[in-house]
Chain A
Amino acid sequence: MRYESPATTKEACTLLAKEKGTAFVLAGGTDLLVKMKAGMVEPDLVVDIKRIKGMCDIKKSASGFVIGAATPNAALSENAALLKAWPGVVEAAQLIGSKQVQGRCTMAGNLCNASPAADSVPALVAAGARVVIAGPKGKRKLAVEDVPAGVGRTVLKKGEIIEAIELPAKKPKSGDAYLRFIPRSEMDIAVVSCAVNLSIDGKGVITAARVSLGAVATTVLLVKDAAKAIIGTKLDDQAKAKLAAAASAACRPIDDKRGTVEFRTEVAGVLARRAAEIAYARAGGK
């Protein structure tokens, strides 16, 4: 295996594009090193992107936030503006692993690992986040939900890397929230998860919403029917019941060591309702 730590994105893309064997990008490494340890992957090349300028930075602009792909999740909550604008995204990102893992792991890595149970991905999807992809043919942008192609697979082409994640500016009277179910209080992979991002008007009526679910299908789901169930409502009990039903209906989970189909389907609705309540309160709804 070769280890490279290029100084520019261009160099990184070139290294990855030219490699004939198996090549991996190293940001936090919290998935990659585990897979290497287990012998699941045997890279010929690892490209560490942490020394590329801007890769570990969070930039705020009028259009929102640009988060460098190698920014460790621990840094997210240290940015007061980001935490205020997107508490759900930051909470989701900071549920991954332990404080130790937080010191290394990244949202971009979480996305590229393409696990349906990735914690930050549903929150990013609900937030309407996009990724900036750099590659041999230049840059392109994609919605976060369009990046995973299946379990462990993304739409990134050879030589392409995610350079940054873009979060839109926070809309007035909006709020987001993320909840996951795990058996313990920490350290587990989500058995099922849900993120809700919504906006309300002056009367507390929901004007827009995005609801996403994790660990209930091969990729994170953006559930439009669940959003529809609460748009135009004040998140009354009936709306919440419809939301829960729509979330559960969207589930296409499997039975595995972490949970059952029955459990995931049921709890997806519970989490959707609870996350919506938090998001609604954050938006200023009562």
Chain B
Amino acid sequence: MPLDTSLVRKPFKVIGTRVRRPDGIDKVTGRAKYGADAFAPGQLVGLVLRSPHAHARIKKIDTSKAEKLPGVKAVVTAADLPDLTAGDRGLRDTLENCMARTKALYDGHAVAAVAAVDMHTAKQALKLIKVDYQVLPHVTDPDEALKPNAPLLHDDIFTEGIEPKPVKPSNFIKIAEYGHGDVEAGFKEADVIIEKSYKTEQTHQGYIEPHACLASVSPDGTAELWVTTQGPFVYRNTCAALLGMDINKLRVTSSEIGGGFGGKTHVWAEPVALALSRKANRPVKVVMTRDEVFRATGPTSSASMDIKIGARKDGTVTAAFAELRYQNGAFPFTWAEFGAMTAWACYDFKNVKSVSKDVVVNRPKCAAYRAPSAPIAAFAVESTMDQVAQAIGMDPIEFRIKNAAKEGTKSSYGPVYGPIGIGPTLEAAKNHPHMKAPLGPNQGRGMACGFWFNFGGQTCVDVNVTPDGSVTVAVGTVDVGGSRASLALAVAEELGVPYDQVRVIVADTSSLGHNDMTDGSRGTFSSSMAAVDATRKAVQTLRERAAKIWEIPVDEVEWMDGHAHAVGEKHGNKAPLSVKEISAQAANTGGPIAGHSEIVADGAGVSFATHICDAEVDPETGRTTIKRYTVIQDAGKAMHPSYVEGQYQGGAAQGIGWALNEEYVYGKDGRLQNPGFLDYRIPVCSDLPMIDTQILEIPNPNHPYGVRGVGETSIVPPLGAIANAISNAAGVRLNHIPMSPPRVLKALKAKKK
């Protein structure tokens, strides 16, 4: 029976309350175990040797001296990770990224690894590995990489989307196009056309916990992997495929995860740790340094974009066009295409088109970063939207309200929207006290909108009623920010029991069916859907057992407020049975009481936000300070409002960092110059004001409680909102992110001239 997702209209008992999270005490006392906090008997230290070159042919690797060093138990290279990918291009790229085969494709690319008895020995061993490189010309900029004579990374990339298919390989992965209408005709109808180019630099998720894992392969071929990950099942499936194992032989347990934001959705050193353990026949722990995290995991794209918007004087946009060129790092993906799909999603334009060009460059393989690709496109679009509003003399909020998408709008990327929140967030922004607050000297206010698709995916949840009536819940979608509390609330709501009676854990991969990873803002959305489904099944069983106890038909048993009630006058003398009373008799009524759910959580419900930002620009140094910040976003239904607010605030803070100071700085040699928190400048506490939030609840009709994912959209508007605020504060338009002090000061000086 499919899950009945018709909205629960009755007032909630516990959903929407701010309960204490179940993992709170462990996390404030230092007891919570993260990736690097596990130990196994006889464990070795694993270290990875990385290419110092941006692009080089690996002519030879001599590991003999390292192997002979006392205390070294295993050395692995690509030869120990044979290509078993059988034509699966994505999987082969993953393998090559984990360990370079014939070429090192970026500064930091793994070329070999060692396992030794201690850190000192492992470090010595790395120094004894001799790699003979032939250094090749490199390219790190997406526009440069598209040029005909650019250094070529792969000889088997033939641009997709071009007919006929090119015969020459290039760095140009794919061209894609989205939109509808006739933009050329639309531009002819415009009174005003604004056409601008923009650039954004590469940023990293910057989670505080480096990647870490403990791999243990037994001589019988079974293995265990303890790892910090957003997706233990995905890690399991990928590692098993790369190492040629049956999936059931690899058990992956996700540790507490110290932040991921998309960066822990891909495997990096995990297959290498397993290969080391397999070769050494001992458990191997691999913990990345911060330097390795920056150089060799998956930051988001840098990009270059052209935007053109035409509008009539009444504020109607007649046509909009975007070309987006994103680099994907050293391996092909479709990050620009995500940008093209999201670019215009907030708006209802008659004629709209976006073209994406995806490119490979000599930088680390890009990974998802919170609403991946969308903030980049939104920066360009929202900056241009403000300039159009200015050109036609219209208030930027009114201009956006006039063009906002609504229920029934055919989105720029294809689907027709259901009930959505862009209009309401804009109206809320318009009426927010923030909009009327006075501004000081050198201060300006900006706003911008953002969109993210959201995702549902495969989900599996077990609900088990214990003999004393308390409830355990096992989920397979990792809790990255408090979802265990929300899921306990869902189960408590369905069962009608107090929140404290429900305990949620994240199960390992041998205990549950496949779960997709925590991405696409799906964690709480999909797991709560499955938790509701599983709990309803458990309730059905509880009713059946009560019926058995009472010896009446099950359809005469109703579930209410955590109790079975016998319905009708003839059963008037039967006292309701609690969960505890029913479960106490489980052994005599049919065994353990449980509910299970295995679903594809469709209908995630798209998400929109509007942000307002006040910025102050020091006219003499170009330094920008964020004075006030407000996030308004549709949550569908906020199951635990504190953690919804937390998602809004966290995304905004990351966006502020991206907008102002964060960037990968590459030298002419193609090496990353700032692989550390000293010079990769994420916002510190004193950089930020309080971040005000307003949760709107426009129910998602596809979820029983109306929930939408909330995790990602909050990072989409800040870049544009801050660019618009700076423009209003200082009278200069920054087209290049980050809007760091040297760039702002340069713009200010140019304006003076």
Contact = CB atoms under 8 A, between A and B. Distances in A.
Which 8 pairs across A and B sit closest by C-beta, in order of nearness?
A263-B742, A185-B686, A257-B665, A270-B620, A257-B673, A183-B661, A185-B687, A186-B686
A181 B661 CA distance: 14
B498 interface: no
B687 A262 contact: no
B747 to A, nearest CB: 12
A187 interface: yes
Interface string A231-267: 0000000000000000000000000111110110011
Interface stretch (B173-181, B330-338, B675-683): B675-683
Interface of B: 123, 289, 291, 620-623, 625, 660-661, 665, 673-674, 677-679, 681, 683-684, 686-687, 740-742, 745-746, 749
A138 interface: no
24 contacts: A37-B289, A38-B291, A181-B621, A181-B741, A183-B623, A183-B660, A183-B681, A184-B683, A184-B684, A184-B687, A185-B625, A185-B684, A186-B684, A186-B686, A187-B677, A187-B678, A187-B684, A188-B681, A191-B741, A257-B679, A258-B679, A262-B742, A267-B620, A267-B621
A262 B673 contact: no
A258 B683 CA distance: 16
Contact of B681 (A181, A184, A266): A184
A260 B687 CA distance: 22
A39 interface: yes
Contacts of A132: none
Nearest to A192: B621
B343 to A, nearest CB: 29
A184 B688 CA distance: 10
Contacts, number: 57
B745 A266 contact: yes
A209 interface: no
Contacts of A181: 621, 623, 741
B404 to A, nearest CB: 35
Interface of A: 37-39, 181, 183-189, 191, 256-260, 262-263, 266-267, 270
Given A183-B741, A185-B625, A185-B687, 14 more contacts: A181-B621, A181-B623, A181-B741, A183-B660, A183-B661, A185-B684, A186-B684, A187-B677, A188-B681, A189-B679, A191-B741, A257-B673, A257-B679, A263-B745
A85 B638 CA distance: 55
A185 to B, nearest CB: 4
Nearest to A270: B620
Nearest to A273: B620
Chain A contact surface mostly: loop
Contacts of B678: 187-189
A270 B621 CA distance: 8
Contacts of A188: 678-679, 681
In the complex, which of the residues B660, B673, B679, B742 has the most CB atoms of chain A within 10 Å of its own CB atom? B742
Nearest to B738: A183
A37 B123 CA distance: 11
A187 B661 CA distance: 13
B745 A183 contact: no
A52 to B, nearest CB: 29
B623 to A, nearest CB: 7
A36 to B, nearest CB: 11
A37 B623 CA distance: 32
A95 B674 CA distance: 21
A189 B678 CA distance: 8
A285 to B, nearest CB: 22
Contacts of B742: 259-260, 262-263
A161 B684 CA distance: 35
A257 B740 CA distance: 12
A183 B674 CA distance: 14
Contacts of B741: 181, 183, 191, 263
A267 B684 CA distance: 23
Contacts of B677: 187
Contact of A262 (B291, B625, B746): B746
A215 B480 CA distance: 41
A251 to B, nearest CB: 14
B588 to A, nearest CB: 61
Contacts of A189: 678-679
Given A257-B673, A257-B674, A183 B123 contact: no
A186 B686 CA distance: 7
